[in-house]
Amino acid sequence: MGFNTEALHKGLVKDESFGATITPVYQVSAFGYKDMETLERVFGGKSSGFAYTRIGNPTVASFESRINALEHGFGAVATASGMAAISHGLMNFLSAGDNIIASAGLYGGTIQLFSIFKQFNISITYTSDFSHENLEKLYKENTKAIFAETIGNPSLTVIDIASIAEFAHKKGIPLVIDNTTATPFLVTPIDLGADIVIHSSSKYINGSADAISGVVIYSGKFKWDFDRFPALKEYKAFSNLSYLVRLRKDFWASMGGCLSPFNAFLNIIGLETLGLRIQKINDNARILAEELNNIEGISVNYPLLKGNSNRELAQRQLKGYGGGILTISTGSREKAFKLINSLKTAIIASNIGDVRTLVIYPATTLFLHNTKEEMNAAGVFDDTVRVSVGIEDIEDLLADFRQAIL
């Protein structure tokens, strides 16, 4: 199947009762049974079914099945937000004293989350250099994971997933990839060796900016050493699947970061047009970046631009696309604000992945709680404007940005 066909049909849980073409919204807290024996078996995992929406719901399960199919995973767990997906996905196997090697160009909210990890004695080592030689220098005995974004937000650094996975597996640790900015339309990290894939599905997957949500997808392939990862030891009988079993039955269910059924339904609707939207968004972003980069007085960061250090890898790994985000360096904060405030079509908002073009000044918003060094490492400076490109007609976007800049 091609991607758009898969998005419509793969992982679909059919409604045998009434023939609904997509899973309905099961907006309930609990599920009733005809007798206590049946409910007891469901609670004990001895019978299929749903008991309480915090630990499982048919609409949420349908979304999990469909995004898992697109990401080529073994299983998925949906969460209340992208930040919940990151925290649950990592804390599920980490313990106090562990270390994570992470990309320096991460989204500001993720960096803020990692600062909280330090309170639990989990340290973070940031790097912009993922060469094997540098990773070897950074690696410690307590390093238990490598974490990176497929396309940095908003650094727009493209990482070589296969190369990093090779190093991680040589060291016996999992590679965790946040694939929010790329989506499975551009790349499926599990096929390149990633072990855990995370999405803030509030973004491109949802597409219409009407639901906060996240999801963790597990490859089912990583061979866990239970002495090195004691958090999973209780589940060692499940071997490679211990991560997924603990995540669903223990960590996620107990921490309570469940996704609401209605938001899951909105994500299902978004998934069905994901390929069409991402293709249009990426085409628009490339054209807009190329045109704006020719205007005197500003410079544009976009992976596909000639001379960009990420160009070759983006063309090879992302099917020739460069993502839906670009950043503009205006020369000063004042010029950045003037550009943003002069736009008529683009909306000033903090989201990405909307069907509408969004702009923001990240230094004092998305990176409000980050240090100057963290901001600069993420590609955020005093004159930076981030643009999340939408599906508008490109002629209208070009005209809007030209009048705002000129």
Query: Residue 83's pLDDT is what?
Result: 97
Residue 46 has pLDDT above 90, yes or no: no
Whole-number pLDDT of residue 14:
74
Residue 75, helix vs strand vs coil: strand
Are both 100 and 29 inside the same structural domain?
Answer: yes
* CATH code of the domain in which 334 resides: 3.90.1150.10
Residues 69 and 170 in one domain: yes
Q: Quick one: 264 and 293 in the same domain? A: no
Handedness of CA 156, 157, 162, 166 (dihedral sign): negative
Reported as type and span, the H/E element at residue 340 is helix 333-342
**Phi and psi, residue 100, nearest 5°:** -120, 135
Which of the listed residues 209, 237, 270 is the one where a domain comes to its end? 270
Number of alpha carbons in the 13 Å side-chain half-sphere of residue 27: 5
Cβ neighbour number for residue 126 with a 10 Å cutoff: 18
Q: What is the mean pLDDT of residues 319-335?
A: 97
pLDDT at residue 291 tops 90: yes
- Render pLDDT for 329-383 as a digit per residue (tens, 0 to 9): 999 999 999 999 999 999 999 999 999 999 999 999 999 988 999 999 889 999 9
Residue 13: pLDDT above 80? no
Question: Are 209 and 308 in the same domain?
Answer: no
Same domain, 290 and 205: no
Q: Are residues 230 and 310 in the same domain?
A: no
Question: Which residue range(s) make up the domain with 228?
Answer: 3-270
pLDDT of the residue at 231: 97
**Those residues with Cβ within 8 angstroms of residue 261's Cβ, 6 or more apart along the chain or in another chain:** 25, 26, 27, 28, 53, 57, 58, 59, 60
Q: What are phi and psi of 213, to 5 degrees?
A: -170, 165
At residue 18, the pLDDT reads 84
pTM of the predicted protein model: 0.96
- Say whether pLDDT at 34 is over 90: yes
Which of 270, 295, 320 is at the close of a domain? 270
CA distance 38 to 177: 39
Helices (H) then strands (E): counts for the chain: 16, 12
Q: Please give the C-alpha separations between residue 69 and each of 73, 213, 385, in angstroms, as whole numbers.
A: 6, 18, 35
Instruction: Pick the closest to residue 147 from 204, 94, 77, 221 (CA basis).
Output: 94
Predicted local confidence at residue 224, as pLDDT:
98
- Residue 15 confidence (pLDDT) above 80: no
Q: What is the pLDDT of residues 388-400, one digit of tens each?
A: 999 999 999 999 9
* Domain count within the chain: 2
Q: If pLDDT is split at 50, 70 and 90, which confidence band does 19 have?
A: confident
Mean pLDDT of 261-279: 97
Q: Is the Cβ–Cβ distance between 110 and 178 less than 8 Å?
A: yes
- 325 and 232 in a single domain? The answer is no
Strand partners, 176: 147, 196
Q: Mean of the pLDDT values across residues 156-169?
A: 98
Specify the 3-state DSSP secondary structure of 78. Answer: strand
Instruction: Please report, for residues 25, 53, 325, the alpha-carbon distance to residue 60 in angstroms, rounded to integers and kept in the order given.
Output: 9, 9, 29
Which residue, among 96, 98, 97, 117, has the nearest Cα to 106 in the 3D structure? 117
Q: How far is CA 211 from the centre of its chain?
A: 15
385 and 325 fall within a common domain: yes
Task: Look at the block and give the residue holding tokens 């509408």.
Answer: 356
The CATH number covering residue 56 comes to 3.40.640.10
Q: Which of 262, 270, 252, 236 is nearest to 353 (CA)?
A: 270
pLDDT for residue 140 is more than 90: yes
Write the pLDDT tens digit of every residue in 177-235.
999 999 999 999 999 999 999 999 999 999 999 999 999 999 999 999 999 999 999 99
User: Which residues, 6+ apart, have CB-to-CB distance to 23 below 8 Å?
Assistant: 13, 15, 58, 59, 62, 265, 268
26 and 141 belong to one structural domain: yes
What DSSP string describes 379-400? T--TTEEEEE--SS-HHHHHHH
Clarify whether residues 259 and 110 are in a common domain: yes
Residues 247 and 334 in one domain: no
Buried b (16+ CB within 10 A) or exposed e, 362-395: bbeebbeebeeebbbbbbbbbbbbbbbbbbbebe
Q: Is the pLDDT of residue 16 over 80?
A: no
Distance between CA atoms of 229 and 177, rounded to whole angstroms?
19
Please give the pLDDT value at position 286. Answer: 98
pLDDT of residue 131: 98
One domain for residues 298 and 392: yes
Choose the final residue of a domain: 270, 285, 309.
270
pLDDT for residue 290 is more than 80: yes
| Region 90-108 average pLDDT | 96
